[in-house]
Amino acid sequence: MRTIGVLLFPQFELLDVCGPVEVLGHRLLADRQRVVLIAREAGPVPSVQGTKLVADHGFADRPPLDVLLVPGGQGTRKEVDDAAFIDWISQASAATPVVSSVCTGAALLARAGVLDGRRATSNKRAFDWVVSQGPRVEWVRKARWVEDGKVWTSSGVSAGTDMALALVARLVDTETADLIAHVIEYTRHADPDDDPFA
């Protein structure tokens, strides 16, 4: 059973989390992987939209992870300066086989040093700010998502769903990824370089 941990923090972007979770936690994968939500402390965490998601675990009691997903959102502007938060991301990333981000979540990975020496992308509307968080990163402006070793980063918001489907294709198989896209009635961008918003 693969465990996928999704990081929550105040003012996270709701679709950055819910899009990938729709894919990674799909019932077709129920016998292979589970999704857990993680925050500083277990309990409700407000999104930028106001809707709250409930973290299953706090930092102190998170289970071992196979995949870590870091969303973006307005809250990233504050969290990049929280040394303890960034240190947790750094330590969790080092211990996790696959690390991913959606949108400005790449800024958090960059500040944690996770993206140093790697190719990565992020939300185009916030691209320059994200780039400023990681001067040792090879930023790719035109990409729906970028895979570099164990690290996957996606462009803005809905691009996280495409990245999640690509992760399923890699971790499970392409047929399952295509079937999930069909079941959720989602038109998938299967080419990471096909970035209509660049």
Tens of pLDDT along 42-52?
A: 999 999 999 99
Q: Is 143 helix (H, G, I), strand (E, B) or coil?
A: coil
Q: Give the pLDDT confidence of 103-123 residue by residue, as tens digits.
A: 999 999 999 999 999 999 999
Measure the CA–CA gap between 160 and 53, rounded to whole angstroms.
Answer: 18
Measure the CA–CA gap between 172 and 147, rounded to whole angstroms.
Answer: 16
Quote the percentage of the chain above a pLDDT of 90.
Answer: 97
In the prediction, which pLDDT does 169 show?
97
In the prediction, which pLDDT does 187 show?
94
Whether residue 179 contacts residue 169, with contact meaning beta carbons closer than 8 Å, is answered with: no
Q: Give the pLDDT confidence of 147-191 residue by residue, as tens digits.
A: 999 999 999 989 999 999 999 999 999 999 999 999 999 999 999
Could you tell me the two tokens for 181?
């896209």
Whether residue 80 contacts residue 108, with contact meaning beta carbons closer than 8 Å, is answered with: yes
Sorting pLDDT into bands at 50, 70 and 90, what band is 198?
confident
> Is it the case that residue 140 has pLDDT exceeding 90?
yes
In the prediction, which pLDDT does 18 show?
98
Q: Give the pLDDT confidence of 76-100 residue by residue, as tens digits.
A: 999 999 999 999 999 999 999 999 9
Dihedral angle sign, alpha carbons of residues 68, 73, 77, 78: negative
Beta bridge partners of 147: 152
Q: Is 90 helix (H, G, I), strand (E, B) or coil?
A: helix
Return left, alpha or beta for 11; rule: phi > 0 is left, psi -120 to 50 is alpha, else beta. left
Measure the CA–CA gap between 16 and 47, rounded to whole angstroms.
Answer: 10
CATH class of 2-183: alpha beta
> Is it the case that residue 16 has pLDDT exceeding 90?
yes
Q: Is 190 helix (H, G, I), strand (E, B) or coil?
A: coil
The mean pLDDT value for 16-27 works out to 98
pTM for the full predicted model? 0.96
In the prediction, which pLDDT does 175 show?
97
The residues that are catalytic are 103
In the prediction, which pLDDT does 6 show?
98
